[in-house]
A and B are shown apart, each in its own frame.
Chain A
Amino acid sequence: MMKRSLALVALATGCANDPVYVECPDAPTDPTCLRSIEAGQDDGTGMIVEEAKTRLLLPINPEKPEDAEQRATRTAELGVDVPYVKLGDIEVSVEWTITNLEDIEGIALVELDGATEFFEYDPDMIVLSTDDEAPPSPGLDGNIPIHIPPNGSISGLFREDQVREASIDLEQVTRGNVNPFAATLRVNKNDTQIQPFLPFDPMDPEAGPMIDPNAVPIPREAFAGMIRIDLVFTPNRHMRLDYNVRIRDIRGEMMNELLMAADPAELHPFAPMPYAVMAMD
């Protein structure tokens, strides 16, 4: 009888981790959440708009009191902060389409950044060297030149495994003080822990990384998953980027039923801190 009921419930609800698709609403409460962004055009003053940014905070339900209690207990046991949205609770991929609005072939780059519930990662806020010729800090993924035909469109995506890898890289940089180049250039998706390094010393940017002897390694169960997706779009012609975010709720009951149409008061109030590192002479 129980089995029959479960089968009926399963049939009635479909698979628990069927994907949902979210995109920025027509009238977003966050003005930086833009459904489509354009760059490469004249801004009206003779200057070219080099890049455009958008970010989308995932519509995640508030944490239940019993879950918060369990999490606090686990945080005390491990000695490190255990996030509400852990790596693997939700699987996220980002699908995008670039449209060239000019009749000349162009090149475009799409960069994936984002935030966990602890920190947001913006490469512009991470300056590791005062050398003008030093490469800028990398994005978490993407930034591969893509040729877009005249008036044509190209679609692509950041797969679930790429976003998962990006989440781990973000954690390494922000909670583990790992150099962003090291974090993003290595494949870390199977890492079982993050060994924190001593914080970057802005007065001594050339110093090599040193393991923090007093820091507790962050175990994988305490890795945070990304709760905000940031995209940076850099075309060399006037182009448009449209995107949406595909989410599979693996843990279940994480995503709000109304998704982006939900009242912000009914969503979890995430407030990630900007992660900033500024090298100085």
Chain B
Amino acid sequence: MIEMRRVTIVALLLAASTVDARPASNGWYAEGGLGAVAFLPKHADDGAVGPALGVRIGRDLFSWLSLGISLAASSHEATVDPPPEGEWFQLYRGGGDLRIGGRFDRIALFIEGGVGIAIISSNILDKVMVTEPGETFSIGFSGGAGFEYQLENRHYALGLGVDVFVLPQFDTVKAIDSRLYLRYTY
């Protein structure tokens, strides 16, 4: 049953990439987006939802597979027990990722996953043991999905992506990163 489902998904993706879709460029691309990052339990109470921005550049290896590198930053109010109160910290993330997807005319769907590093700007979360003294770096793993809407200009697409990332060195904090972005393909 599971095997059958896998075959169906692959067939759909292959079919999607061959249908007579709206023209879209393929190759090197760049994305820039704005969104929000929210921490998931068990650390959901330690940092508020914060604004995020990110850029990503990459290369479509095939119509259904692309590689990319991304940089993102988000800013959060620390919601630990006071004091301190009303203090903010920033989370910077960078890494490489792999995206698999297919297009259905104007809409492209994708799933993605990646690995990278994250840097936290202060030790304010030491208080809740998310970070330890002197610790500012963590490896990061991310995975998610999204869709793109191909504009009439073949170079441009608008997209919505949602990823979950995990930072093992920061007490395995998990967060969800959602973003609206504009993609330009050369």
Contacts and interface: CB of A to CB of B under 8 A. Distances in A.
B168 interface: no
Given A95-B83, A97-B82, A244-B84, A21 B126 contact: yes
Contacts, number: 60
A11 B121 CA distance: 10
A275 interface: no
Interface stretch (A144-152, A205-213, A255-263): A255-263
A12 B83 contact: no
A223 interface: no
Give the secondary structure class of B's interface.
loop
Interface stretch (B46-54, B85-93, B103-111): B85-93
Given A14-B119, A21-B122, A246 B85 contact: no
A96 interface: yes
Contacts of B83: 95-97, 155, 157, 242-244
A96 B126 CA distance: 17
A15 interface: yes
A14 B90 contact: yes
A243 B121 CA distance: 21
Nearest to B137: A12
Interface string A200-233: 0000000000000000000000000000000000
Interface in B120-162: 121-124, 126-127, 133-134, 136
Contacts of B84: 21, 95, 244, 246
Interface in A44-94: none
Given A15-B121, A96-B83, A259 B133 contact: yes
A33 B94 CA distance: 39
B169 to A, nearest CB: 15
A95 B134 contact: no
B119 A95 contact: no
Given A12-B119, A14-B121, A18-B121, A258 B82 contact: no
A20 interface: yes
Given A14-B119, A97-B82, A155-B82, A19 B87 contact: yes
Among B83, B90, B92, B127, the one with the most A-chain Cβ atoms within 10 Å of its Cβ is B83
Given A11-B92, A258-B133, A261-B134, A20 B123 contact: yes
A261 B135 CA distance: 12
A219 B119 CA distance: 40
A246 B136 CA distance: 17
A36 to B, nearest CB: 10
Given A97-B82, A259-B133, A21 B119 contact: no
Contact of A21 (B71, B90, B94, B127): B127
Contact of A261 (B85, B90, B133, B136): B133
Contacts of A244: 83-84, 127
A61 B138 CA distance: 25
A101 to B, nearest CB: 16
A63 B123 CA distance: 23
B87 A21 contact: yes
A18 B122 CA distance: 6
A244 B81 CA distance: 12
A17 to B, nearest CB: 11
Given A11-B92, A14-B90, A260-B133, A95 B85 contact: yes
A14 B123 CA distance: 12
Contacts of A157: 83
Contacts of A19: 87, 122, 124
A140 to B, nearest CB: 19
Nearest to A59: B133
A246 B87 contact: yes
B92 to A, nearest CB: 7
Interface string A3-19: 00000000111110011
Given A257-B134, A261-B133, A21 B82 contact: no
Pick from B92, B133, B134 the residue with the most CB of A within 10 Å: B133
A98 B154 CA distance: 61
Contacts of A262: 133
Interface in A228-281: 242-244, 246, 257-262
Contacts of A242: 82-83
6 contacts: A11-B94, A15-B121, A19-B122, A20-B122, A97-B83, A259-B123
